A = this chain, B = another copy of it.
Amino acid sequence: MTYTAPTRELRFILEDVVAMEGLKTTGAFEELSSDLTAAILEEGGKFCAGVLAPLNHSADQFGAKIKDGEVTTAPGFKDAYKQFSEGGWQGLSFAEADGGMGLPNALGAAFQEMLQASNMSFGLGPMLTMGALEVLTHAGTDEQKALYLPRLISAEWSASMNLTEPQAGSDVGALRTMATPVGDGSWLVEGQKIFITWGEHDCAPNIIHLVLARTPDAPAGTKGLSLFLVPKFLLDDNGEPGERNDLRAIGLEHKLGIHASPTCVMEYGGNGGAKGWLIGEENKGMAMMFIMMNSARLGVGAQGVGIAERAYQLALEYARDRGQGRAVDTKDYPAAIIHHPDVRRMLMTMKAKITAARSICLACAVASDYATHLDDEDERSRAKAREELLTPLAKTYGSEVGVEVSSIALQIHGGMGYIEETGAAQHYRDARITPIYEGTNGIQAIDLVGRKLNMMGGYPMTRLIEEMRETVEDCATSSNPELPPIGARLANAVDTLELATEWLRNPQRDKADVLAAATPFQSIACDTVGGYFLAIGALAAQRLLKDGEETGFAKDRIALTRFFAEIILSTIPGRLGDVHAGAALLFSLSEEGLGA
Chain A residues packing against B (C-beta within 8 Å): 4-6, 8-9, 164, 167, 169-171, 174, 194-195, 253-257, 309, 313, 316, 320, 323-325, 328-329, 334, 338, 340-348, 351, 403, 407, 410-411, 414-421, 425, 428-429, 432-433, 435-437, 440-442, 445-446, 511-512, 515-516, 518-519, 552-553, 555-556, 559-560, 562-563, 566-567, 570-575, 577-578, 581, 583, 585-596
Contact = CB atoms under 8 A, between A and B. Distances in A.
B512 A329 contact: yes
B570 A588 contact: no
The 4 closest A-B pairs by CB, nearest first: A574-B574, A556-B593, A559-B588, A256-B425
A332 to B, nearest CB: 13
16 contacts: A4-B596, A171-B324, A255-B425, A256-B418, A316-B594, A328-B583, A342-B446, A346-B442, A411-B440, A418-B436, A553-B593, A562-B585, A563-B589, A567-B585, A571-B575, A572-B574
Contacts of A420: 254-256
A516 B345 CA distance: 7
Given A566-B577, A596-B9, A324 B556 contact: no
B418 A341 contact: no
A594 B429 CA distance: 24
B421 A436 contact: no
Task: Find the residue from A329, A556, A588, A592 having the highest chain B CB count within 10 A.
Answer: A588
A429 B428 CA distance: 9
Is chain A's binding surface mostly helix, strand, loop or mixed?
helix
A591 to B, nearest CB: 6
B516 A324 contact: no
A320 B590 CA distance: 13
A418 B425 CA distance: 15
B552 A325 contact: no
Contacts of A552: 590, 592-593
Nearest to A317: B595
A170 B574 contact: no
Contacts of A418: 253, 255-257, 432-433, 436
A6 B596 contact: yes
A404 to B, nearest CB: 10
B174 A334 contact: yes
Contact of A574 (B323, B559, B570): B570
Nearest to A492: B574
Contact of A411 (B5, B435, B553): B435
B590 A556 contact: yes
Nearest to A417: B436
Contacts of A425: 255-256
Given A4-B596, A573-B574, 10 more contacts: A171-B324, A316-B594, A316-B595, A342-B518, A344-B583, A344-B587, A347-B594, A428-B432, A552-B590, A566-B581
B325 A170 contact: yes
A586 B442 contact: no
A436 B409 CA distance: 12
Contacts of A416: 169
Contacts of A344: 516, 583, 586-587
A575 B342 CA distance: 16
A420 B44 CA distance: 34
Nearest to A419: B253
A518 B344 CA distance: 12
A567 B574 CA distance: 10
A164 B445 CA distance: 44
A515 B328 contact: yes
Contacts of A253: 418-419
A169 B591 contact: no
Contact of A338 (B562, B567, B591): B591
Contacts of A340: 442, 515
Contacts of A589: 348, 351, 556, 559-560, 563
Contacts of A596: 4-6, 8-9, 309, 313
A341 B583 contact: yes
Given A342-B446, A587-B344, A410 B432 contact: yes
Contacts of A313: 596
Nearest to A421: B254
B566 A195 contact: no
A289 to B, nearest CB: 16
